[in-house]
Amino acid sequence: MIRVSHYQGSSNWLSIVPNGIYKLLVHAKETYNSPIIYITENGERDGIPIGPKGGSNWLSIVPNGIYKLLVHVKKSYNSPTIYITENGVDEVNDTSLTLSEARFDELRIKYHQDHLSYIKQAMEEGVDVKAYYIWSMFDTFEWAAGYSVRFGLFYVDFVNGNLTRFPKTSAIWLMNFLNKKRFTLKRQAPKNEEEHGSVKKDKKQ
């Protein structure tokens, strides 16, 4: 009989997709002699939300979750090298905002600051994290959500026909973070703001 112990340490690549942190309900159903883990998307534990929501209802913001996951992977999988290939938070695509308002994404900055802080803590405890990739560089078409939410560090105008891109405050923060410069949170409005059709035109700054 082949046991689980025969497979321990035998894989050279493991993909784990937490996708926003859900609560887990484990039901021991007999399928190929393995339990099935059912993931619910209500983001609650004992009826209490586990964290604030992003722009999508399925995405709960729980920064310490990434620390717990990294430590768990280290202990459970013989301390593998880890590449975090996707992490990010979305906001609702609010077309009533001006371009400068839509680009002022303080939530996204705090999201990555908090997650990076917990990743650093895990690394100080011996977790071998080699890379952290942000989802995403640009606002994009998000599966069933379409253009109703925005994940990008860069704002994309989906209406003007040119897909014009503008750095959000989070992009400026990331640039300064990588260059080890201090960052002051402020709105940045382009001179031609009224030309962009996916934001409100008649609102004054």
Q: What is the DSSP letter of 142?
A: B
Tell me, yes or no, whether 109 lies in a domain: yes
135-189 per-position pLDDT tens digit: 999 999 999 999 999 999 999 999 988 999 999 999 999 999 999 877 666 655 4
| Mean pLDDT, residues 58-85 taken together | 91
> Per-residue pLDDT tens for 80-125?
999 999 999 999 999 999 999 999 999 999 999 999 999 999 999 9
What CATH number is associated with residue 86?
3.20.20.80
- 132 falls within a domain: yes
Tell me, yes or no, whether 11 lies in a domain: no
Q: Are 90 and 61 in contact (CB under 8 A)?
A: no
The model's pLDDT over 22-46, given as tens digits with 9 standing for 90+, comes to: 444 444 444 333 333 333 345 666 6
Whether the model pTM is above 0.85 = no
Q: Domain total for the chain?
A: 1
Nearest CA to 104 among 183, 203, 188?
188
Range of the domain at 105: 61-195
Helices marked H in 32-186 — which ranges?
A: 64-76, 99-102, 106-124, 169-178
Distance, in Å, from the CA atom of 177 to the CA atom of 13, rounded to the nearest integer, reads 30
Cα 15–Cα 130–Cα 59 angle in degrees, nearest 5: 50
Q: What are phi and psi of 103, to 5 degrees?
A: -90, -5
Phi, psi of 127 (to 5 degrees): -75, 130
Classify residue 159: in a domain, yes or no.
yes
68 part of a folded domain: yes
**Token pair 């593998």 is at which residue?**
80
- Is 130 part of a structural domain of the chain? yes
The reply to whether 12 falls in a domain is no
d(CA 163, CA 139): 10
Q: Kindly state whether residue 49 falls inside one of the protein's structural domains.
A: no
